Each structure stands twice: as C-alpha cells, then as structure tokens.
Amino acid sequence: MVIGLGCSCPPDGSPPRERPVAPPRQEWRTFPADTILISPRRYAHLPGACAHLTEELVTAPRWGWIPAPPDGLWDRLGTGCPATATEGNTDRQAIRRCEECAAAVG
C-alpha cells in the first residue's frame, strides 16, 4: 500500500469496486475509459461519461489526469481524499465527482 493513497475500500465499508468504465457517449481516442480527468474547478470526470465535456477541451496545462487510477479511487474521491493528477497538469487535484459522470458509472 502506498502511503497517502490508503486502501481501495470505499469510506462506507462496502467492498471496493473495479475501476469505473462508463459507457461512452462519444468516442474518446486519447484517454482510456478508466482515466480520471481533473478539471481546473477540481471536478473529476470520466472520458465520454458526460455530455458537457469533449476530448479536445482536456489539455495541459489547464487539465490534469490519472490514466491508471488505483482501484477504488473514484469512490473515495472527496475533500478528505483528493485525487492528484499524475499526468498533464500534475498540480491539479479533484475533490468532487462530476454528477453526470458518477451517474453514468452507477
């Protein structure tokens, strides 16, 4: 276990889920479906999971992303467990999930 990342268990004690893979609403070519995209407003998105975000908008230095997030990171993500970008703008941290993306992955 990497210090600071914790385990992959959601905070409610339920078993960890696999990485979210949303059914794409549009085809994305640059980012795998399980990539966590981090906006300048500190929201986490998933490629193709919401209608208000298109692939050409997700560019560094404005955005950061995590191409292979640890299992359960999407579920744990919040103010107490921010997700920090590993690529693009690595200063970006997400503290909340896009509601549309969250609904797409259930």
Decide if pLDDT at 1 tops 50.
no
pLDDT in tens, 17-72: 555 554 555 678 899 989 999 999 999 999 999 999 999 999 999 999 999 999 99
10 falls in which pLDDT band (50, 70, 90)?
A: low
Q: Based on the structure, what is the number of domains in the chain? A: 1
Per the domain annotation, does 85 fall within a domain? yes
CA distances, 77 to each of 7, 20, 27, 30, 48 (Å): 12, 13, 25, 23, 19
pLDDT in tens, 64-103: 999 999 999 999 999 999 999 999 999 999 999 999 999 9
**Which residues share a beta bridge with 88?**
64
Residue-number span of the structural domain to which 83 is assigned: 36-105
Decide if pLDDT at 3 tops 60.
no
Q: Cα–chain-centroid distance for residue 51?
A: 16
Per the domain annotation, does 42 fall within a domain? yes
